[in-house]
């Protein structure tokens, strides 16, 4: 996780500076299941990696033995285009998403942030809790979700692997009360992050996605310093963009110019970050291919160094 957080910083800078190639994702819709299959190709020259991810989102898998997000990644030789590796994109998506939210916290959250609210009970909730503890001195973690039993289970699991005090809370509002960092990772139709529940100076990360809903309310978006991975991706139409930004733009609450910065601009210093201790900051993630590319490159390098994996011949 530490290596991934570090590697994402120059990759996001590459994206903002126009050196990386990461076109908006495209998707084939499966309306009868409210799902889709998306393709996300990416090239990051600084990491020497060319790859494409196929990722499916089937929200009705929630509560079954299958995850809502499933993915495969194909890595290709950037000199010849030859396919060189096939990876489990489901695991990589979970890790890289949490790691990039942690990068946003390293760039925007107050250095003394100690209380983390985790909204959601899926793989991203777990990934974000672990990642945030790598960049800030988190001492207390509160977990909230639609199902109190699942929230309690996640809290128990995290308690066994993290040094922080972890507990489940019965409501989102209670989890958010006084939190320094918020990690929202839900399939919410209605906002689970509301301005009246937030403390001054909180840093909010939002990675949840539901084509018919949103995680963050208008008041939070309007007041916060808003940062994204890519303005183009965040403001693109479905299936690439973010309802959390597109809906308030549509309704006249904000304009597209309200998006303050991309993470890469914060990394290189072309845009400032937090300007006061009480400022609310918001990182809205939609997921971009350069994140998958950097993570895949780290995995492939480690696998080769450790002789892990299976050599196969495609015929």
**CA–CA separation, 53 vs 195, rounded Å?**
35
Q: Which CATH homologous superfamily contains domain 2-92+291-306?
A: ornithine cyclodeaminase, domain 1 (3.30.1780.10)
Give the mean model confidence (pLDDT) for residues 291-297: 97
pLDDT of 87 over the 90 cut:
yes
Q: How far is CA 228 from CA 207, 236, 262, in A?
A: 11, 12, 5
pLDDT tens readout for residues 35-75: 999 999 999 998 999 999 999 999 889 888 998 889 999 99
pLDDT of 315 over the 80 cut:
no
- Check if the beta carbon of residue 49 is closer than 8 Å to that of residue 31: no
Provide the CATH topology of domain 110-287: Rossmann fold (3.40.50)
pLDDT bracket for residue 7 (50, 70, 90): very high
pLDDT of 11 over the 90 cut:
yes
pLDDT bracket for residue 228 (50, 70, 90): very high
**CA–CA separation, 46 vs 127, rounded Å?**
26
**CA–CA separation, 82 vs 85, rounded Å?**
9
51 beta partners: 42, 75
Q: What is the pTM of this model?
A: 0.95
Domain-by-domain residue ranges, the chain?
Answer: 2-92+291-306, 110-287
pLDDT of 240 over the 90 cut:
no
* Per-residue pLDDT, 109: 98
pLDDT of 79 over the 80 cut:
yes
pLDDT tens readout for residues 159-208: 999 999 999 999 999 999 999 999 999 989 999 999 999 999 999 999 99
Of 18, 76, 74, residue with least CA distance to 46: 18
């Amino acid at each position: 996780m530490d290596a991934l957080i570090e590697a994402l910083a120059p990759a996001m800078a590459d994206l903002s500076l126009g050196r990386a190639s990461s076109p908006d994702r495209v998707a084939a819709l499966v309306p009868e299941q409210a799902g889709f299959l998306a393709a996300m190709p990416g090239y990051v020259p600084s990491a020497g990696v060319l790859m494409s991810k196929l990722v499916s989102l089937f929200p009705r898998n929630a509560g079954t033995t299958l995850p809502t997000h499933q993915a495969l990644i194909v890595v290709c030789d950037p000199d010849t285009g030859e396919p060189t590796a096939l990876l489990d994109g489901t695991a990589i998506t979970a890790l890289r998403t949490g790691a990039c939210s942690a990068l946003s916290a390293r760039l925007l959250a107050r250095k003394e942030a100690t209380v983390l609210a985790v909204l959601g009970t899926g793989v991203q909730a777990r990934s974000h809790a672990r990642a945030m503890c790598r960049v800030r001195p988190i001492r207390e973690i509160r977990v909230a979700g639609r199902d109190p039993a699942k929230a309690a289970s996640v809290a128990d699991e995290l308690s066994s692997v993290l040094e922080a005090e972890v507990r489940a809370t019965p409501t989102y509002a209670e989890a958010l009360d006084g939190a320094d960092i918020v990690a929202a990772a839900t399939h919410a139709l209605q906002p689970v992050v509301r301005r009246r529940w937030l403390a001054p100076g909180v840093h909010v990360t939002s990675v949840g996605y539901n084509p018919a809903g949103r995680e963050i309310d208008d008041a939070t978006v309007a007041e916060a310093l808003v940062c994204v991975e890519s303005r183009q991706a965040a403001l693109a139409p479905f299936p690439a963009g973010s309802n959390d930004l597109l809906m308030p733009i549509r309704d006249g609450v904000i304009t597209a110019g309200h998006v303050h910065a991309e993470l890469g601009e914060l990394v290189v210093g072309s845009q400032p970050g937090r300007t006061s201790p009480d400022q609310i900051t918001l990182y809205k993630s939609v997921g971009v291919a350069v994140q998958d590319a950097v993570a895949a490159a780290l995995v492939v390098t480690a696998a080769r160094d450790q002789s892990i994996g299976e050599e196969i011949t495609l015929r």
